[in-house]
Amino acid sequence: MSNEEGAALIHGAKVSASRRSMISASFNFINSIIGSGIIGLPYALNQAGLPLGLLVLLVVAFITDYSIILLIKGGNLSGTNSYQALVQRTFGFPGFLLLSVLQFLYPFIAMISYNITTGDTLTKVFQRIPGVGPGHILAERHCVILLSTAVFTLPLSLYRNIEKLGKVSLLSMGLTLAVLITVIVRAATLAPQILPTKDAWVFAKANAIQAAGIMSFAFICHHNSFLIYGSLEEPSIASWTRVTHVSVGSAVIISAAFAVAGYSTFTGFTQGDIFENYCRDDNLATFGRFCFGLSIVTTFPLECFVTREVVSNLVCCRELTRVEHAGLTVLIVSVCTSMSLAFECLGVVLELNGVLSATPLIFIIPSACFLKLSPGRWFQGENLIPSVLILTGMFVMITGLTMTGLSPQDCSHGREMFYCTDANVSGTIPPKPNAIYLNVVTSVSAV
């Protein structure tokens, strides 16, 4: 073999390895975005109105894409390789401490929501098994959460290298697509049986800021951006930009389809957890619940990676030993599981985590770091967009927090929706068109 042929083979191997690492990074990125937050996107459209909600979704996706790239650029400018190191280099210890709190809270609360969602969805799946009824161990959400933690989430979270989760993330994406197909099919078959609410198709509703918080929660992935960037075979702004565009673009397509299909089915009756809208005896919805529950279980470890890194950077300031790694992982997962057992409803978790944690991590901090490191004045040249994002983020935080406190989400956790008792909407005998909603309107009017 000549030297030229050997060099060509080495170059081809490097290109192949680089391409595989980019694909793996994209899977991890998409899986990180499409977590439990996607389940609340139909409710976000219910809050904002369908047309305005879709516009807000696109804006949040654009800002996410832009700020992720901005974050890595800031890391390159400052010579840092983590979100925390970037903020510490830029704003000193106070900024580092603030970011550490936010960067810990977001994935930690996300893991709690993942467990809550797992308990809610899989218990309904198990109750469809013959012999599993109320009181059975598989029908108790606490037991399901403990079982999924012991068998799946804890073992997967013990990995030290995030790249090893690439195949798991691919599985999660496949499951998410199955959930999307389920929701779309049910939109076609179930929506005609439920008359849309009065203001179902208005352009905008008053709670658009709360919707922006939910969407921010659904799209945030900045907390593990440096981890995924570091997993690339040849990290560069060019390769990272491609990974980001592909990941965020794929996520927004899936999210928009899921949100529209879910909201158009139930309109004003849409719950924060869209699967709470489907009846227990709906076999297709049961399949969707199973896929989504398993998808959430495979997403949990990504958030645990971030939470563990934040704690280790704040406390140890060095790479953990195997024993320390395992001990910290078990501690984080145990505390998260304990809190998951104490709370039963997602409720305002998505909204509050969105406006308090996700919004500053997406809008404010990456932009502030770039402005601090970049020459030139605010609102001029390439500093214009980061400046606007800071002001936008502050507005979303203040307004969203205020509106969430004034009009919190009504939770229907564990209860069958009214139309499930009026007719067997999942069976072979469909109710008369619009009968479900008309019965409810009549009942409410009588009251």
| Residue pLDDT, tens place only, 348-393 | 566 677 778 888 888 888 889 888 888 777 777 778 888 888 998 8
Which CATH number is 50-406's, of 3.30.70.100, 1.25.40.340, 1.20.210.10, 1.20.1740.10? 1.20.1740.10
Tokens of 438: 């008309």
Q: Which residues of the chain fall short of a pLDDT of 70?
A: 1-18, 35-36, 162-166, 169, 223, 317-318, 344-351, 404-415, 422-447
Angle between helices 50-78 and 365-373 (to 10 degrees): 40
Task: Please check whether residue 241 is in contact with residue 22, taking contact to mean a CB–CB distance below 8 angstroms.
Answer: no
pLDDT at res. 260: 94
**With the CA atoms of 111, 153, 320 and 108 taken in that order, what torsion angle do they form, in degrees rounded to the nearest 10?**
0
DSSP 331-381: HHHHHHHHHHHH----TTHHHHHIIIIIHIIIIIHHHHHHHHHS-S-TTSG
Residue with tokens 């214009």: 384
Q: What is the CA radius of gyration of the chain?
A: 23
Between CA 288 and CA 198 the distance in angstroms is 28
Task: Please check whether residue 326 is in contact with residue 133, taking contact to mean a CB–CB distance below 8 angstroms.
Answer: no
- How far, CA to CA in Å, does 312 sit from each of 109, 110, 133, 332? 18, 19, 43, 12
Residue with tokens 């990456």: 366
pLDDT at res. 340: 85
pLDDT at res. 36: 61
Give kind and range of the element (H or E) at residue 392.
helix 384-406
Nearest to 25 by CA among 309, 289, 224: 224
Tokens of 191: 């929506």
Give the domain ranges of the chain.
50-406
Cβ neighbours of residue 61 under 8 Å, at least 6 residues apart?
Answer: 219, 248, 251, 252, 255
> Phi and psi (nearest 5°) for 234?
-130, 85
pLDDT at res. 334: 93
Rounded to two decimals, what is the model's pTM? 0.76
Between CA 336 and CA 339 the distance in angstroms is 5
pLDDT at res. 445: 37
Between CA 66 and CA 419 the distance in angstroms is 43
